[in-house]
């Protein structure tokens, strides 16, 4: 062998030894990071630890065989446990990641472009889909493993974790103060992330990638976002955030004091954020389209009680009696017969027309008076009843079109200055039901629940249609072509009637007790109304000394305590005895 050949062999041996000790692939391939694992490969430090640690462990066992038995057994158990986890990751990658990458590469038509794909195992039901039925032998091994081996393997990690939690509890007062200096980071949940080593992808390519991701990874209802600034193209698919499962009177009471007269709280949206409708900024009229049992009357009730609480008026056209909560309430005109509906619509149109005439000579911020809300229940049937009623009473020379239907159309074309708003409710809000397509265009706020594809395309074709939810009270509020998912607040009849009472001080706090049908009163209110027979000072003394059946405090109005009328009457009766 010549000196040149032996020198080449030594060079090759030196390179192999260097690669072996540094954790590089022995095949000579490059591009595998030292700290981050490559595609289906170990990271450099992991490979280095195995190559150096295994011979060292073998030497220790050979030198001290008896002393090393327990250590070897534990290391073998840990290795088996890690191998099992790694096998699960390999199965997950072979099932979802590798086939998806194989489909994306040729579809993009870009050669030598590296594409990385991360799929979170906690996304949807991806991991449970890989589970297979166990044989009796596998079940026996699993039971023995969980009974005898797993407690030993988990003892040390669990105690270390508990020690870490204890230390974190000790230093929490300090770390909490440090949060003031930290910048809020992006909170990312389970997601799919794709990175392509190319500066730009066309719209067609992005749509193709999105279609492949949706087809190859079985997770529904994902939110897609693309980022093409920089040298790489990044895409992310995250699970759509959902509103809470239920919203009640507590949330409504929390937000009412902060609302303007033209703003109305509807419910909670994604991330438990409040959803507020504005009849001044968004639209003067609201269209509600939903299937049977979706909660159309509850939606209308939420708006109506807020109008009544602020001193407004509500006109309800309801043939089937869906709003019994509003019967005999001040400020409510409840129309169940066609004649009543006919007269109420004509009167509302006259008021709106008068207000518009007066607005010409007033300032821009002129207030025409209390807000009037007209709730048209089951508009598909109501229009037919009004037309039939007019056909019966129409005299010779009267117009063929019902004046009530014409008045409804006029109200829809009235501006915001009149403060007369229509809330139209129908299962299918067609143009014929509302008086034509031009009249339907006046509904800037459109609310849908349990909708069909036809209903969505008819009302909001400019917005992409999300999947309809079967959760009761779950609505899609569409404003300006943007759909917002909302869990609408649910109120009982007693809560609605209590909230509908006019309050003169809406910004000074609201009573939290709205479960009864009694009036909420301060001591001074009760004395002025004749409920309490004493003077204010005497009533305060009786409260301080617990004389008689002292009423319980039910809330606050400013600094004054609130009590129910029934409790105050019982207190007065006990004092007389």
Six token digits for residue 422: 């229509």
Q: Answer whether residue 321 shows pLDDT above 60.
A: yes
pLDDT of residue 505: 46
More confident residue, 326 or 362: 326
Q: Answer whether residue 511 shows pLDDT above 50.
A: no
pLDDT level of residue 177 (50, 70, 90 thresholds)? confident
pLDDT level of residue 515 (50, 70, 90 thresholds)? very low
Per-residue pLDDT averaged across 513-535, rounded? Answer: 69
Show Cβ contacts of residue 562 under 8 Å, excluding neighbours closer than 6 positions.
511, 513, 520, 521, 522, 553, 554, 555, 556
Per-residue pLDDT averaged across 282-307, rounded? Answer: 86
**Cα–Cα distance, 467 to 459 (Å, whole number):** 16
Per-residue pLDDT averaged across 442-450, rounded? Answer: 86
**Cα–Cα distance, 71 to 67 (Å, whole number):** 8
Q: Answer whether residue 70 shows pLDDT above 70.
A: no
The pLDDT > 70 percentage for the chain reads: 84
Residue 404's CB is within 10 A of a number of other CB atoms, namely 26
For the chain, what are the domain ranges? 1-63, 88-162+186-240, 249-495, 518-576
Q: Answer whether residue 522 shows pLDDT above 50.
A: yes
Q: Answer whether residue 506 shows pLDDT above 50.
A: no
Q: 12-21, 67-76, 93-102, 372-381: which has the minimum mean pLDDT?
A: 67-76
pLDDT of residue 456: 87
Q: 60-74, 156-170, 433-447: which has the minimum mean pLDDT?
A: 60-74
More confident residue, 400 or 509: 400
Handedness of CA 381, 447, 283, 266 (dihedral sign): positive
pLDDT of residue 508: 39
DSSP reduced 3-state for 225: strand
pTM for this entry: 0.61
Q: 322-326, 411-415, 455-459: which has the minimum mean pLDDT?
A: 411-415
CB-based contact 535:527 (threshold 8 Å): yes
Handedness of CA 377, 381, 386, 392 (dihedral sign): negative
249-495 CATH: 3.40.50.300
* Residue pLDDT, tens place only, 2-55: 666 666 666 667 677 777 777 777 766 655 566 666 545 677 777 777 778 777
pLDDT level of residue 234 (50, 70, 90 thresholds)? very high
Average pLDDT, rounded, for the chain = 80
Helices assigned H by DSSP within 23-149:
44-63, 69-92, 98-108, 136-144
Per-residue pLDDT averaged across 236-255, rounded? Answer: 86
More confident residue, 73 or 383: 383
Per-residue pLDDT averaged across 178-200, rounded? Answer: 81
Per-residue pLDDT averaged across 325-338, rounded? Answer: 87
**Cα–Cα distance, 320 to 418 (Å, whole number):** 29
DSSP reduced 3-state for 530: coil
DSSP reduced 3-state for 202: coil
Per-residue pLDDT averaged across 146-158, rounded? Answer: 85
* Strands 445-449 and 286-290, bridge-based pairing: parallel
Q: Answer whether residue 516 shows pLDDT above 50.
A: no
pLDDT of residue 358: 83
* Residue pLDDT, tens place only, 452-495: 888 888 888 888 888 777 788 889 999 888 888 899 998 888 88
Q: In the chain, what's the furthest Cα-to-Cα distance?
A: 126
At which residue do the structure tokens 């229509």 appear? Answer: 422
CA 572 from centre of chain: 48
How do the residues of the chain divide into helix, strand and coil, expressed in percent and rounded to 5? Answer: 45, 15, 35
**Cα–Cα distance, 430 to 458 (Å, whole number):** 8
pLDDT level of residue 570 (50, 70, 90 thresholds)? confident
Pick the closest to residue 316 from 340, 281, 285 (CA basis).
340
Q: 30-34, 165-169, 510-514, 549-553: which has the minimum mean pLDDT?
A: 510-514
The pLDDT > 90 percentage for the chain reads: 7
pLDDT of residue 131: 79
pLDDT of residue 306: 92
**Cα–Cα distance, 368 to 157 (Å, whole number):** 71
pLDDT of residue 29: 61
More confident residue, 180 or 507: 180
Q: 23-32, 317-326, 347-356, 508-517: which has the minimum mean pLDDT?
A: 508-517
**Cα–Cα distance, 568 to 523 (Å, whole number):** 9
């Amino acid at each position: 062998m010549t000196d040149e050949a032996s020198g080449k062999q030594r060079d090759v041996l030196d390179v192999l030894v260097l690669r072996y000790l540094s954790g590089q692939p022995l095949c000579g391939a490059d591009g595998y990071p030292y700290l981050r694992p490559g595609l289906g490969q170990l990271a450099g430090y992991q490979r280095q630890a195995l190559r150096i640690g295994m011979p060292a462990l073998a030497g220790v066992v050979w030198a001290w065989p008896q002393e090393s038995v327990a250590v070897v057994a534990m290391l073998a158990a840990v290795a088996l446990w890690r191998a099992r986890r790694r096998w699960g990751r390999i199965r997950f990658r072979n099932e979802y990641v590798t086939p998806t990458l194989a489909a994306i590469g040729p579809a993009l038509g870009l050669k030598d472009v590296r594409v990385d794909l991360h799929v979170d195992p906690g996304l949807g039901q991806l991991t449970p889909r890989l589970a297979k039925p166990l044989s009796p032998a596998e079940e026996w091994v699993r039971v023995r493993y969980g009974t005898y081996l797993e407690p030993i393997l988990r003892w040390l990690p669990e105690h270390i974790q508990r020690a870490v939690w204890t230390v974190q509890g000790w230093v929490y007062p300090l770390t909490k103060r440090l949060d003031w200096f930290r910048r809020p980071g992006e909170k990312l949940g389970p997601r799919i992330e794709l990175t392509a080593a190319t500066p730009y992808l066309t719209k067609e390519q992005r749509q193709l990638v999105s279609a492949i991701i949706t087809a190859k990874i079985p997770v529904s209802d994902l939110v897609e976002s693309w980022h093409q600034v920089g040298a790489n193209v990044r895409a992310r698919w995250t699970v759509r955030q959902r509103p809470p499962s239920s919203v009640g009177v507590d949330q409504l009471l929390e937000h009412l004091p902060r609302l303007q007269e033209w703003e109305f709280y509807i419910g909670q949206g994604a991330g438990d954020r409040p959803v507020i409708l504005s009849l001044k900024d968004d639209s003067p009229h609201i269209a509600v389209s939903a299937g049977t049992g979706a909660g159309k009357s509850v939606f209308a009730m939420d708006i109506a009680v807020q109008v009544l609480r602020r001193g407004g008026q509500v006109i309800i056209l309801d043939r089937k009696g869906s709003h019994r909560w509003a019967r005999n309430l001040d400020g409510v005109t409840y129309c169940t017969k066609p004649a009543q509906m006919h007269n109420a619509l004509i009167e509302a149109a006259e008021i709106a027309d008068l207000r518009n005439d007066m607005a010409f000579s007033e300032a821009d911020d002129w207030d025409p008076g209390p807000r009037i809300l007209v709730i048209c229940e089951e508009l598909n049937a109501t229009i037919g009843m009004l037309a039939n009623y007019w056909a019966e009473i129409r005299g010779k020379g009267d117009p063929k079109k019902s004046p009530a239907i014409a008045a409804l159309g006029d109200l829809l074309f009235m501006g915001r200055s009149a403060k007369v708003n229509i809330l139209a409710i129908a299962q299918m809000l067609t143009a014929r039901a509302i008086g034509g397509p031009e009249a339907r265009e006046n509904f800037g706020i459109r609310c849908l629940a349990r909708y069909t594809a036809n209903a969505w395309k008819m009302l909001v074709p400019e917005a992409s249609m999300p999947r309809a939810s079967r959760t009761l009270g779950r609505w899609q509020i569409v404003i300006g072509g943007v759909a917002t998912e909302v869990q609408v607040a649910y109120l009982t009849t007693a809560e609605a009637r209590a909230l509908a009472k006019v309050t003169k001080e809406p910004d000074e706090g609201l009573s939290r007790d709205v479960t009864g049908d009694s009036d909420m009163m301060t001591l001074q209110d009760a004395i002025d109304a004749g409920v309490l027979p004493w003077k204010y000072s005497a009533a305060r003394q009786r409260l301080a000394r617990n004389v008689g059946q002292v009423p319980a405090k039910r809330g606050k109005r400013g600094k004054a305590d609130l009590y129910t009328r029934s409790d105050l009457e019982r207190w007065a009766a006990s004092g007389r005895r």
